[in-house]
Amino acid sequence: MVNYMRLSDLQSKEVISIKDGSQLGNIIDADVSEDGMVLKIITYNKKGGIFSIKNREEATIKWDQIKKIGEDVILVDENS
């Protein structure tokens, strides 16, 4: 049996580093291959409050850096 997940399901989860437990943000986009495989996810983390525009951070995480997709979080190893 093959399990499928929608990008919108992933976007509702927080992305967390297994290295130090820091929050890396939420998924805003993904790079997908021609055959439909997810290659990378793009996270967005807004630091400094709702009106802080210059403290926004985007990060790209390779799919193979994802170690576990849980009910509420996605655990990633940024060093792999």
Domains and CATH numbers, the chain: 7-76 (2.30.30.240)
Count CA atoms closer than 13 A to 4's CA, side-chain side: 2
pLDDT at 47: 63
- Tokens standing for residue 18: 């297994």
Q: How far apart are CA 56 and CA 4, in angstroms?
A: 31
Kindly provide the residue ranges of all beta strands, DSSP E only, lying in the chain, ordered along the sequence: 14-17, 23-32, 38-46, 56-62, 66-69, 73-76
Q: What are the tens digits of pLDDT across the range 13-59?
A: 999 999 999 998 889 999 999 998 899 999 987 665 555 455 567 88
> Encoding tokens for residue 43?
């996270």
The per-residue pLDDT for 34 is: 95
Within 1-80, where are the H helices?
Answer: 7-11
